[in-house]
Amino acid sequence: MNRITAAITAVGGYVPDYVLTNQMLENMVDTNDEWITTRTGIKERRILKEEGEGTSYLAIQAAKNLLAKSKTNPKDIDLVIMSTATPDMPVSFTGAYVATKIGAVNAFSFDLTAACSSFLFGMSTAAKYIESGRYKKVLLIGADKMSSIIDYEDRATCIIFGDGGGAVLFEPNTEGYGLQDEILRTDGEGRPHLKIEAGGSILPASKETVEKKQHYVFQDGRTVFKFAVSKMADVSEELLNKNTIKEIDWLVPHQANKRIIDATANRLNLPEKKVMINIHKYGNTTSATLPLCLVDYEKQLKKGDKLVFSSFGGGFSWGAIYLTWAYDSK
Ligand code: UT7
Protein backbone atom coordinates (compact mmCIF):
# COMPACT_ATOMS: atom_id res chain seq x y z
CA MET A 1 0.00 0.00 0.00
CA ASN A 2 1.17 3.52 -0.84
CA ARG A 3 2.28 5.80 1.98
CA ILE A 4 -0.42 8.29 3.02
CA THR A 5 0.59 11.93 2.61
CA ALA A 6 -1.45 14.91 3.81
CA ALA A 7 -2.54 17.10 0.91
CA ILE A 8 -4.33 20.42 0.81
CA THR A 9 -7.48 19.79 -1.23
CA ALA A 10 -9.38 23.07 -0.78
CA VAL A 11 -8.86 26.64 0.42
CA GLY A 12 -11.16 29.44 1.57
CA GLY A 13 -10.84 32.90 3.00
CA TYR A 14 -12.55 35.97 4.33
CA VAL A 15 -11.57 39.57 5.02
CA PRO A 16 -13.93 42.21 6.43
CA ASP A 17 -15.25 44.93 4.09
CA TYR A 18 -13.94 47.88 6.11
CA VAL A 19 -10.66 49.19 4.64
CA LEU A 20 -8.22 51.14 6.83
CA THR A 21 -5.84 52.94 4.47
CA ASN A 22 -2.45 54.55 5.15
CA GLN A 23 -4.08 57.91 4.48
CA MET A 24 -6.64 57.26 7.22
CA LEU A 25 -3.82 56.32 9.63
CA GLU A 26 -2.13 59.64 8.83
CA ASN A 27 -5.08 61.28 10.58
CA MET A 28 -4.85 58.98 13.61
CA VAL A 29 -1.11 58.89 14.47
CA ASP A 30 2.10 60.70 13.48
CA THR A 31 2.88 58.70 10.34
CA ASN A 32 2.68 58.96 6.58
CA ASP A 33 1.94 56.78 3.57
CA GLU A 34 5.51 57.01 2.29
CA TRP A 35 7.03 55.75 5.58
CA ILE A 36 4.57 52.86 5.89
CA THR A 37 4.95 51.85 2.24
CA THR A 38 8.75 51.89 2.13
CA ARG A 39 9.27 50.31 5.59
CA THR A 40 6.56 47.63 5.39
CA GLY A 41 4.99 47.40 1.91
CA ILE A 42 1.53 47.88 3.41
CA LYS A 43 -1.02 50.18 1.75
CA GLU A 44 -4.21 49.14 3.53
CA ARG A 45 -5.65 46.58 5.91
CA ARG A 46 -9.13 45.26 6.77
CA ILE A 47 -10.84 45.79 10.12
CA LEU A 48 -13.76 43.81 11.54
CA LYS A 49 -16.32 46.41 12.63
CA GLU A 50 -19.30 44.10 13.32
CA GLU A 51 -20.51 44.80 16.84
CA GLY A 52 -19.96 41.95 19.31
CA GLU A 53 -18.10 39.75 16.83
CA GLY A 54 -14.64 38.27 17.43
CA THR A 55 -12.17 35.99 15.69
CA SER A 56 -14.76 33.22 15.36
CA TYR A 57 -16.71 35.42 12.93
CA LEU A 58 -13.70 35.63 10.60
CA ALA A 59 -13.02 31.91 10.99
CA ILE A 60 -16.62 30.90 10.30
CA GLN A 61 -16.80 33.04 7.14
CA ALA A 62 -13.49 31.60 5.87
CA ALA A 63 -14.56 28.02 6.61
CA LYS A 64 -17.97 28.53 4.97
CA ASN A 65 -16.22 29.89 1.88
CA LEU A 66 -14.09 26.74 1.71
CA LEU A 67 -17.06 24.41 2.28
CA ALA A 68 -19.11 26.10 -0.45
CA LYS A 69 -16.26 26.20 -2.99
CA SER A 70 -15.28 22.56 -2.45
CA LYS A 71 -18.84 21.28 -1.89
CA THR A 72 -17.65 19.61 1.31
CA ASN A 73 -20.28 18.33 3.73
CA PRO A 74 -19.29 19.72 7.16
CA LYS A 75 -20.60 16.52 8.75
CA ASP A 76 -17.70 14.65 7.11
CA ILE A 77 -15.03 16.74 8.88
CA ASP A 78 -13.18 14.83 11.61
CA LEU A 79 -11.18 17.62 13.20
CA VAL A 80 -11.15 21.43 13.22
CA ILE A 81 -7.87 23.04 14.23
CA MET A 82 -8.30 26.72 15.06
CA SER A 83 -5.01 28.58 14.78
CA THR A 84 -5.27 31.98 16.42
CA ALA A 85 -3.51 34.45 18.67
CA THR A 86 -6.75 36.31 19.43
CA PRO A 87 -9.29 33.76 20.67
CA ASP A 88 -12.86 34.97 21.25
CA MET A 89 -12.38 34.55 25.01
CA PRO A 90 -10.21 32.60 27.45
CA VAL A 91 -11.18 29.06 28.58
CA SER A 92 -14.10 28.49 26.21
CA PHE A 93 -11.88 27.98 23.19
CA THR A 94 -12.80 29.35 19.79
CA GLY A 95 -12.46 26.13 17.77
CA ALA A 96 -15.38 24.41 19.49
CA TYR A 97 -17.71 27.30 18.72
CA VAL A 98 -16.52 27.59 15.11
CA ALA A 99 -16.86 23.85 14.46
CA THR A 100 -20.44 23.84 15.77
CA LYS A 101 -21.43 26.96 13.84
CA ILE A 102 -20.21 25.58 10.50
CA GLY A 103 -22.05 22.28 11.09
CA ALA A 104 -18.96 20.14 11.73
CA VAL A 105 -21.00 18.22 14.28
CA ASN A 106 -18.95 15.02 14.04
CA ALA A 107 -15.61 16.77 14.56
CA PHE A 108 -13.61 17.52 17.64
CA SER A 109 -11.59 20.70 17.76
CA PHE A 110 -8.93 22.64 19.57
CA ASP A 111 -7.14 25.97 19.40
CA LEU A 112 -3.49 26.13 18.48
CA THR A 113 -1.51 29.19 19.43
CA ALA A 114 2.02 30.11 18.38
CA ALA A 115 1.66 33.82 17.53
CA CYS A 116 2.40 34.45 13.83
CA SER A 117 3.49 30.83 13.39
CA SER A 118 0.11 29.47 14.55
CA PHE A 119 -0.96 28.50 11.03
CA LEU A 120 2.40 27.01 10.03
CA PHE A 121 2.50 24.87 13.18
CA GLY A 122 -1.15 24.03 12.51
CA MET A 123 -0.21 22.68 9.08
CA SER A 124 2.30 20.36 10.70
CA THR A 125 -0.27 19.22 13.26
CA ALA A 126 -3.08 18.72 10.73
CA ALA A 127 -0.77 16.65 8.54
CA LYS A 128 0.14 14.28 11.39
CA TYR A 129 -3.53 13.44 12.01
CA ILE A 130 -3.98 12.61 8.31
CA GLU A 131 -0.71 10.65 8.03
CA SER A 132 -1.76 8.49 10.99
CA GLY A 133 -4.50 7.08 8.78
CA ARG A 134 -7.13 7.65 11.45
CA TYR A 135 -8.53 10.97 10.19
CA LYS A 136 -9.76 11.72 6.67
CA LYS A 137 -10.73 15.39 6.70
CA VAL A 138 -8.93 17.92 8.87
CA LEU A 139 -10.01 21.55 8.55
CA LEU A 140 -7.27 23.99 9.53
CA ILE A 141 -8.41 27.57 10.06
CA GLY A 142 -6.17 30.57 10.74
CA ALA A 143 -7.94 33.73 11.86
CA ASP A 144 -7.16 36.79 13.92
CA LYS A 145 -8.98 39.93 14.91
CA MET A 146 -5.75 41.84 15.46
CA SER A 147 -7.66 45.11 15.80
CA SER A 148 -8.90 43.85 19.20
CA ILE A 149 -5.38 43.95 20.67
CA ILE A 150 -3.90 46.96 18.86
CA ASP A 151 -3.50 50.45 20.31
CA TYR A 152 -4.54 52.84 17.55
CA GLU A 153 -2.48 55.56 19.24
CA ASP A 154 0.75 53.54 18.88
CA ARG A 155 2.24 54.20 15.44
CA ALA A 156 4.79 51.40 15.87
CA THR A 157 2.10 48.69 15.78
CA CYS A 158 -1.18 50.10 14.43
CA ILE A 159 0.16 50.50 10.90
CA ILE A 160 1.13 46.83 10.62
CA PHE A 161 -1.78 44.64 11.60
CA GLY A 162 -5.15 43.77 10.05
CA ASP A 163 -8.03 41.33 10.51
CA GLY A 164 -8.75 38.26 8.40
CA GLY A 165 -9.33 34.54 8.22
CA GLY A 166 -8.29 31.66 5.97
CA ALA A 167 -8.88 27.92 5.88
CA VAL A 168 -7.45 24.83 4.22
CA LEU A 169 -8.71 21.26 4.10
CA PHE A 170 -6.20 18.45 4.54
CA GLU A 171 -7.04 15.00 3.15
CA PRO A 172 -5.10 11.76 2.59
CA ASN A 173 -3.26 11.44 -0.72
CA THR A 174 -1.78 8.25 -2.12
CA GLU A 175 0.03 9.81 -5.11
CA GLY A 176 2.65 11.39 -2.87
CA TYR A 177 1.38 15.00 -2.99
CA GLY A 178 1.06 17.16 0.10
CA LEU A 179 3.30 17.92 3.04
CA GLN A 180 6.78 16.56 2.41
CA ASP A 181 9.03 17.97 5.12
CA GLU A 182 9.31 20.67 7.76
CA ILE A 183 11.68 22.45 10.09
CA LEU A 184 9.94 24.13 13.01
CA ARG A 185 11.64 26.07 15.81
CA THR A 186 10.92 28.11 18.96
CA ASP A 187 13.06 30.20 21.28
CA GLY A 188 11.56 31.50 24.52
CA GLU A 189 14.27 34.13 24.84
CA GLY A 190 12.14 36.09 22.37
CA ARG A 191 9.33 36.64 24.88
CA PRO A 192 10.19 40.22 25.92
CA HIS A 193 10.31 41.49 22.35
CA LEU A 194 6.78 40.73 21.18
CA LYS A 195 4.00 40.30 23.72
CA ILE A 196 0.90 41.51 25.50
CA GLU A 197 2.01 42.25 29.04
CA ALA A 198 -1.29 41.81 30.90
CA GLY A 199 -4.41 39.68 30.78
CA GLY A 200 -2.66 36.35 31.24
CA SER A 201 -1.87 34.39 34.40
CA ILE A 202 1.20 36.43 35.32
CA LEU A 203 -0.52 39.79 35.29
CA PRO A 204 -4.31 39.44 35.29
CA ALA A 205 -6.45 42.37 34.19
CA SER A 206 -6.88 45.20 36.68
CA LYS A 207 -7.75 48.89 36.61
CA GLU A 208 -4.03 49.60 36.62
CA THR A 209 -3.22 47.32 33.67
CA VAL A 210 -5.94 49.00 31.62
CA GLU A 211 -4.71 52.47 32.54
CA LYS A 212 -1.15 51.51 31.61
CA LYS A 213 -2.33 50.14 28.24
CA GLN A 214 -0.85 46.73 29.01
CA HIS A 215 -3.53 44.82 27.11
CA TYR A 216 -2.21 45.94 23.73
CA VAL A 217 0.52 44.35 21.60
CA PHE A 218 4.00 45.57 22.45
CA GLN A 219 6.65 45.00 19.79
CA ASP A 220 10.34 45.85 19.81
CA GLY A 221 10.16 46.08 16.04
CA ARG A 222 13.87 46.40 15.32
CA THR A 223 14.81 43.26 17.27
CA VAL A 224 11.93 41.23 15.86
CA PHE A 225 12.84 42.41 12.36
CA LYS A 226 16.48 41.36 12.79
CA PHE A 227 15.55 37.85 13.95
CA ALA A 228 12.77 37.47 11.37
CA VAL A 229 15.02 38.37 8.45
CA SER A 230 17.70 35.84 9.33
CA LYS A 231 15.56 33.02 10.77
CA MET A 232 12.96 32.85 8.00
CA ALA A 233 15.65 32.81 5.32
CA ASP A 234 17.89 30.35 7.23
CA VAL A 235 15.19 27.79 7.82
CA SER A 236 13.79 28.00 4.28
CA GLU A 237 17.24 27.51 2.77
CA GLU A 238 18.01 24.66 5.18
CA LEU A 239 14.77 22.91 4.21
CA LEU A 240 15.57 23.15 0.48
CA ASN A 241 19.10 21.85 1.00
CA LYS A 242 17.86 19.00 3.18
CA ASN A 243 15.50 17.90 0.41
CA THR A 244 18.02 18.63 -2.38
CA ILE A 245 15.50 20.89 -4.12
CA LYS A 246 17.12 23.11 -6.73
CA GLU A 247 14.08 25.20 -7.55
CA ILE A 248 10.67 25.78 -6.05
CA ASP A 249 7.58 27.13 -7.78
CA TRP A 250 6.25 29.26 -4.93
CA LEU A 251 7.38 30.82 -1.70
CA VAL A 252 4.42 31.33 0.65
CA PRO A 253 5.83 33.67 3.29
CA HIS A 254 4.21 35.09 6.41
CA GLN A 255 3.19 38.65 5.52
CA ALA A 256 4.77 40.70 8.33
CA ASN A 257 6.95 43.06 6.35
CA LYS A 258 7.73 43.19 2.62
CA ARG A 259 11.42 43.64 3.45
CA ILE A 260 11.45 40.35 5.42
CA ILE A 261 9.70 38.62 2.50
CA ASP A 262 12.24 40.05 0.03
CA ALA A 263 15.18 38.91 2.18
CA THR A 264 13.81 35.34 2.28
CA ALA A 265 13.14 35.32 -1.47
CA ASN A 266 16.63 36.67 -2.21
CA ARG A 267 18.27 33.96 -0.14
CA LEU A 268 16.37 31.35 -2.18
CA ASN A 269 17.25 33.15 -5.44
CA LEU A 270 13.57 33.50 -6.28
CA PRO A 271 12.19 36.14 -8.62
CA GLU A 272 9.23 38.13 -7.26
CA LYS A 273 6.79 36.37 -9.59
CA LYS A 274 7.32 33.16 -7.57
CA VAL A 275 6.58 34.83 -4.24
CA MET A 276 3.05 35.12 -2.91
CA ILE A 277 2.48 38.67 -1.70
CA ASN A 278 -0.71 40.34 -0.51
CA ILE A 279 0.67 42.38 2.40
CA HIS A 280 -0.17 45.61 0.54
CA LYS A 281 -3.90 44.73 0.78
CA TYR A 282 -4.21 43.12 4.20
CA GLY A 283 -1.17 43.99 6.34
CA ASN A 284 -0.17 41.38 8.88
CA THR A 285 -3.21 39.22 9.71
CA THR A 286 -1.09 36.93 11.95
CA SER A 287 -2.63 33.42 11.66
CA ALA A 288 -4.43 34.23 8.40
CA THR A 289 -1.50 35.37 6.23
CA LEU A 290 -0.56 31.98 4.77
CA PRO A 291 -4.06 30.72 3.87
CA LEU A 292 -5.04 34.15 2.49
CA CYS A 293 -2.03 33.91 0.17
CA LEU A 294 -3.26 30.52 -1.04
CA VAL A 295 -6.72 31.97 -1.68
CA ASP A 296 -5.30 34.85 -3.72
CA TYR A 297 -2.97 32.64 -5.77
CA GLU A 298 -5.06 29.44 -5.96
CA LYS A 299 -5.91 29.89 -9.65
CA GLN A 300 -2.20 30.01 -10.57
CA LEU A 301 -1.31 26.82 -8.70
CA LYS A 302 -0.82 23.58 -10.61
CA LYS A 303 -0.74 19.97 -9.50
CA GLY A 304 2.82 19.06 -8.57
CA ASP A 305 3.95 22.66 -7.85
CA LYS A 306 6.59 22.84 -5.13
CA LEU A 307 5.67 25.28 -2.35
CA VAL A 308 7.70 26.42 0.63
CA PHE A 309 5.74 28.03 3.48
CA SER A 310 7.72 30.12 5.94
CA SER A 311 6.89 32.18 9.01
CA PHE A 312 8.36 34.04 11.95
CA GLY A 313 6.52 35.35 15.00
CA GLY A 314 6.24 35.96 18.71
CA GLY A 315 7.64 33.50 21.18
CA PHE A 316 9.86 33.50 19.15
CA SER A 317 8.47 30.89 16.78
CA TRP A 318 9.47 30.18 13.20
CA GLY A 319 9.81 27.50 10.58
CA ALA A 320 9.38 26.31 7.02
CA ILE A 321 7.25 23.61 5.43
CA TYR A 322 7.76 22.01 2.02
CA LEU A 323 4.54 20.90 0.35
CA THR A 324 3.61 19.79 -3.15
CA TRP A 325 0.30 21.05 -4.53
CA ALA A 326 -2.29 18.35 -5.13
CA TYR A 327 -4.78 19.79 -7.62
CA ASP A 328 -5.29 22.04 -10.63
CA SER A 329 -7.74 24.85 -10.04
CA LYS A 330 -11.03 24.49 -11.84
O1 UT7 B 1 4.53 39.02 12.47
C2 UT7 B 1 5.14 39.05 13.72
C3 UT7 B 1 6.55 39.42 13.63
N4 UT7 B 1 6.66 40.83 13.41
C5 UT7 B 1 7.53 41.28 12.52
O6 UT7 B 1 8.15 40.52 11.81
C7 UT7 B 1 7.73 42.78 12.43
C8 UT7 B 1 9.21 43.08 12.41
N9 UT7 B 1 9.51 44.49 12.46
C10 UT7 B 1 9.20 45.37 11.47
O11 UT7 B 1 8.55 45.02 10.52
C12 UT7 B 1 9.78 46.74 11.54
O13 UT7 B 1 10.72 46.79 12.60
C14 UT7 B 1 8.73 47.86 11.76
C15 UT7 B 1 7.88 48.02 10.52
C16 UT7 B 1 7.85 47.53 12.96
C17 UT7 B 1 9.45 49.18 12.00
O18 UT7 B 1 10.34 49.47 10.93
P19 UT7 B 1 11.87 49.81 11.20
O20 UT7 B 1 12.48 50.10 9.89
O21 UT7 B 1 12.45 48.71 12.03
O22 UT7 B 1 11.76 51.16 12.02
P23 UT7 B 1 12.31 51.47 13.47
O24 UT7 B 1 11.46 50.83 14.51
O25 UT7 B 1 13.78 51.22 13.48
O26 UT7 B 1 12.07 53.03 13.51
C27 UT7 B 1 12.76 53.95 12.65
C28 UT7 B 1 12.22 55.34 12.88
C29 UT7 B 1 12.15 55.70 14.34
O30 UT7 B 1 12.48 57.06 14.47
P31 UT7 B 1 13.95 57.52 14.96
O32 UT7 B 1 14.13 56.91 16.29
O33 UT7 B 1 14.89 56.96 13.92
O34 UT7 B 1 13.85 59.01 14.95
C35 UT7 B 1 10.71 55.50 14.70
O36 UT7 B 1 10.30 56.29 15.80
O37 UT7 B 1 10.87 55.43 12.39
C38 UT7 B 1 10.02 55.91 13.43
N39 UT7 B 1 8.70 55.28 13.27
C40 UT7 B 1 7.76 55.79 12.45
N41 UT7 B 1 7.75 56.86 11.65
C42 UT7 B 1 6.63 57.08 10.94
C43 UT7 B 1 8.23 54.16 13.84
N44 UT7 B 1 6.99 53.92 13.42
C45 UT7 B 1 6.68 54.90 12.55
C46 UT7 B 1 5.53 55.20 11.78
N47 UT7 B 1 5.55 56.29 10.99
N48 UT7 B 1 4.43 54.42 11.79
- What is the domain partition of the chain in residue ranges? 5-176, 179-324
Q: What is the reported pLDDT for 1? A: 59
Distance of CA 312 to the CA centre of its chain: 10
- Cβ < 6 A, ligand 1 pocket: 31, 35, 39-40, 116, 155-156, 159-160, 221-222, 224-225, 228, 256-257, 260, 284, 312-313
pTM of model > 0.95: yes
Q: How far apart are CA 145 and CA 284, in angstroms?
A: 11
Query: Collapsing DSSP states into helix, strand and coil, what is residue 10?
Result: strand
Q: How far is the CA of 22 from the centre of ligand 1 (A)?
A: 15
Q: How far apart are CA 322 and CA 320, in angstroms?
A: 7
Name the residue of 34, 257, 260, 318 to mutate for ligand 1: max ligand atoms within 8 A of Cβ: 257
Nearest to 219 by CA among 197, 252, 249: 197
Q: Known catalytic residue: 284?
A: yes
Nearest to 210 by CA among 192, 198, 224, 223: 198
324: left (phi over 0), alpha (psi -120 to 50) or beta: beta
pLDDT tens digit string along 110-122? Answer: 999 999 999 999 9
Q: How far is the CA of 230 from the centre of ligand 1 (A)?
A: 17
Burial label for 249, CB within 10 Å (0-12, 13-18, 19+), is middle
For residue 316, cis peptide bond before it (omega within 30 degrees of 0):
yes
Q: What is the reported pLDDT for 330? A: 65
Q: For the chain, what percent of residues have pLDDT higher than 90?
A: 98
- Across 314-321, average pLDDT: 98
Name the residue of 225, 231, 258, 293 to mutate for ligand 1: max ligand atoms within 8 A of Cβ: 225
Is the model's pLDDT at 231 over the cut of 80? yes
Q: Annotated catalytic residue: which of 65, 158, 193, 254?
A: 254
Q: What is the reported pLDDT for 2? A: 76
Q: How far is the CA of 220 from the centre of ligand 1 (A)?
A: 9
Q: Known catalytic residue: 254?
A: yes
Cα angle value 232/321/293 (rounded, 5°): 80
Distance of CA 104 to the CA centre of its chain: 22
Q: Which atom of ligand 1 is nearest to the CA of 257?
A: 11
Q: How far apart are CA 263 and CA 265, in angstroms?
A: 6
Say how many C-beta atoms besides its own lie within 10 A of residue 259's C-beta: 15
Ligand 1: which residue has its CA nearest to atom 36? 156
Ligand 1: which residue has its CA nearest to atom 2? 313
Cα→Cα distances 264→112, 229, 238, 252, 293, Å = 25, 7, 12, 10, 16
Query: Collapsing DSSP states into helix, strand and coil, what is residue 132?
Result: coil
Q: How far is the CA of 30 from the centre of ligand 1 (A)?
A: 13
**How many DSSP H helices and E strands does the chain contain?**
11, 13
> What is the average pLDDT value for the chain, to the nearest integer?
97
Name the residue of 39, 229, 260 to mutate for ligand 1: max ligand atoms within 8 A of Cβ: 39
CB of 239 closer than 8 Å to CB of 182: yes
Do the two domains 5-176 and 179-324 of this chain adopt the same fold?
yes
pLDDT band with cut points at 50, 70 and 90 for residue 276: very high
Q: What is the reported pLDDT for 274? A: 97
> Which residue type does 42 have?
I
Q: How far is the CA of 222 from the centre of ligand 1 (A)?
A: 7
What does CATH list as the number for 5-176? Answer: 3.40.47.10
Ligand 1: which residue has its CA nearest to atom 27? 222
pLDDT tens digit string along 157-204? Answer: 999 999 999 999 999 999 999 999 999 999 999 999 999 999 999 999
pLDDT tens digit string along 232-251? Answer: 999 999 999 999 998 899 99
What does the DSSP 8-state code read for residue 145? E
Ligand 1: which residue has its CA nearest to atom 39? 156
Nearest to 264 by CA among 301, 242, 225, 231: 231
Q: What is the reported pLDDT for 329? A: 84
pLDDT tens digit string along 9-50? Answer: 999 999 999 999 999 999 999 999 999 999 999 999 999 999
CATH superfamily of 179-324: Thiolase/Chalcone synthase (3.40.47.10)
Q: How far apart are CA 61 and CA 207, in angstroms?
A: 35
Q: What is the reported pLDDT for 287? A: 98
Is the model's pLDDT at 216 over the cut of 80? yes
pLDDT tens digit string along 282-312? Answer: 999 999 999 999 999 999 999 999 999 999 9
Q: How far apart are CA 279 and CA 220, in angstroms?
A: 20
Q: Which residues pair with 161 in a beta bridge?
A: 284
Q: What is the reported pLDDT for 178? A: 98
Q: Is the four-CA dihedral 171, 306, 320, 48 of positive or negative sign? A: negative
